[in-house]
Amino acid sequence: MAGQEQQRQQRRSDEHEVDEVEVPTSTTDAPTASDVDDLLDEIDDVLETNSEEFVRGFVQKGGQ
């Protein structure tokens, strides 16, 4: 994946003679398991007790 990114930056600078080859830095860190776990710990408060029945009962009429 990193190699592909390198190539992309290279190609972009070639085509447009952009001076700075800025590698945009992510404002986000790679997800960690504990982030998700926090919300998963609460998920039973939120989900319907009988998921199967809830999903089956979610029937909509078509719209635009």
**Which residues of this chain interact with other proteins, rule CB under 8 A?**
1-2, 4-5, 8, 12, 15-16, 23-24, 26-28, 30-31, 33, 35-40, 42-43, 46-48, 51-52, 54-64
> Among residues 19 and 26, whose Cβ is nearest to other proteins?
26
Terminal-to-terminal C-alpha distance of the chain:
39
From the CB of 5, what's the least distance to other proteins, in Å? Answer: 5
Buried b (16+ CB within 10 A) or exposed e, 11-44: eeeeeeeeeeeeeeeeeeeeeeeeeeeeeeeeee
From the CB of 59, what's the least distance to other proteins, in Å? Answer: 6
